[in-house]
Amino acid sequence: MNLVCTECGESCNDSSSAWRCRCGAPLDLDFHPIYDFGCFAGREPGIWRYREALPVEDPSAPVTLGEGGTPLIESKILGRRLLLKLEYISPTGSFKDRGASVLISRARELGIERVIEDSSGNAGASIATYCAAAGIACEILVPEGTSPGKTAQIEAAGAKLVRIPGGREATADAARKRADKVFYASHYWNPFFFHGTKTFAFELVEQLGGRPPEAIVFPLGHGSLLYGTYIGFSELKRLGVINTLPALIGAQAAACSPFHHLHRGEVTLDSFTAGDTIAEGIRVTKPARAGQILRAIKETGGLVVAVDEEEIIEALAALTSSGFFVEPTSAVPLAAVKKLDSAWESVAIPLTGGGLKAPEIVARLAKGITGNSNCG
């Protein structure tokens, strides 16, 4: 399959194992499938019900563990009616399984025997698990201090786990150094991943009776779910299934919010420095696809919102005490919702990752707010 550069337009083949363009920019897939969306309706739930829309040569034998097909629940939380899509009910506990299934299916098709990936945890757990299912050897680099629930998943899947001191960017640098020798199964550089996450858009349209919500608020790190969703809705618009794209909104932790600063034209990525946040899944200071993701957000009439740590904790407590046991990162969009235009009637939020990956932290943070301590 053909890959094209997002900046200079040069193209190359995906069997060349190039993970970015010679000019340094990310590559997109030159893949514009034509399908009859209505025909998917009668099939088994899961991302492979959309197989004609997915970029593999032989979709009859994918690497699948039953990803996708997540519930959409309407709930009133913090005074606002929201559509919550329960992505944490996925084989490895996060939406990353949508992307991993497509990416690892393609890697197996290409005859790849070994991959490397860097991750704050969930992408690593997902890639490691799908590699286990595919019989592909796998090495995952994570920042020191990653939640034990995530590192346990990586090791249990039989992957080699490497802890890198010095934070998320140091981990990414270490992976890039190895990526010329080993297939880089990156959830933000490799465009096949985004064609897996685009199924999030397809499911929303099906679950809402053929129409997208008016707005969707994402926890925004590298943008693999936000941008995949953009690709999905753009395909549906090109095919005439929907008329307008929903506003795509990125929610970031104020302590680490490169997109928020870029959106307001304040900094370049080189000059951006970040503080710490409990939202470990979006502790990303140098998003690889910043340019194209900001363009997508603007095209849809979306925006980027930053929230502080107390607001994230308050939102987390509101979610867990409403029955949604999620990790702190997944509470960031709910914290952002109160800063949005209340004219939007249907606002959807992906609950991206489960609380079981770091149950003590979630309980401690949520208890501090709701006061449900056992000591009284």
User: Is 92 a binder of ligand PLP (CB under 6 A)?
Assistant: no
Contact flag: residue 91 with ligand PLP (CB under 6 A): no
Which C-beta is closer to ligand PLP: that of 293 or that of 340?
Answer: 293
Report strand pairing: 304-307 vs 247-253: parallel
Of 143 and 219, the one with the shorter C-beta distance to ligand PLP is 219
**Kind and range of the H or E run holding 359:** helix 359-370
The site partner of 94 among Zn ion, ligand PLP, none (C-beta below 5 to 8 Å per kind) is ligand PLP
* Cβ–Cβ under 8 Å, residues 153 and 129: yes
The least distance separating ligand PLP from the CB of residue 61, rounded to whole angstroms, comes to 27
**Least distance to Zn ion from the beta carbon of 289, Å?**
13
State the residue for tokens 């020191």.
Answer: 144
Cα–Cα–Cα angle for 314, 71, 196, rounded to 5 degrees? 100
Ordered strands of the 72-77 beta sheet: 72-77, 80-85, 347-350, 215-219, 247-253, 304-307
The verdict on 11 binding Zn ion (CB under 5 A) reads no
Q: Out of 2, 15, 23, 268, which residue is the one contacting Zn ion (CB under 5 A)? A: 23
Mark 163-192 with x for binding to ligand PLP (rule: CB under 6 A) and - for no binding: ------------------------------
Of 353, 358, 362, 366, the residue at the interface with ligand PLP (CB under 6 A) is: 353
- Among the listed ranges 27-35, 53-61, 278-286, 333-341, the one in contact with ligand PLP (CB under 6 A) is 278-286
**Residue 25 lies near Zn ion (rule: CB under 5 A):** yes
Residue pair 249/277 in contact (Cβ under 8 Å)? The answer is no
CB 240, min distance to ligand PLP, A: 29
Q: Does 3 bind Zn ion (CB under 5 A)?
A: no
- Tally of residues, the chain: 376
Using the structure block, give the residue that is written with the tokens 């337009």.
9
Binder of residue 281, out of Zn ion, ligand PLP, none (CB less than 5 to 8 A by kind): ligand PLP
Taking the least distance from each CB to Zn ion, the nearer of 129 and 186 is 186
Could you say which of 127, 161, 179, 220 contacts ligand PLP (CB under 6 A)?
220
Which amino acid is it at 324?
A: F
Burial class (CB in 10 A: 0-12, 13-18, 19+), 167: middle
Integer-rounded Cα radius of gyration of the chain:
19
C-alpha closest to that of 228 among 105, 68, 369, 42: 68
In the list 3, 14, 20, 21, the residue contacting Zn ion (rule: CB under 5 A) is 21
CA distances from 330 to 2, 59, 323, 343 (A): 34, 31, 14, 23
- Segment interacting with ligand PLP (CB under 6 A) among 198-206, 230-238, 241-249, 323-331: 323-331
Contacts with ligand PLP by CB under 6 A lie at 94, 96, 122-123, 219-225, 281-282, 284, 327, 329-330, 352-353
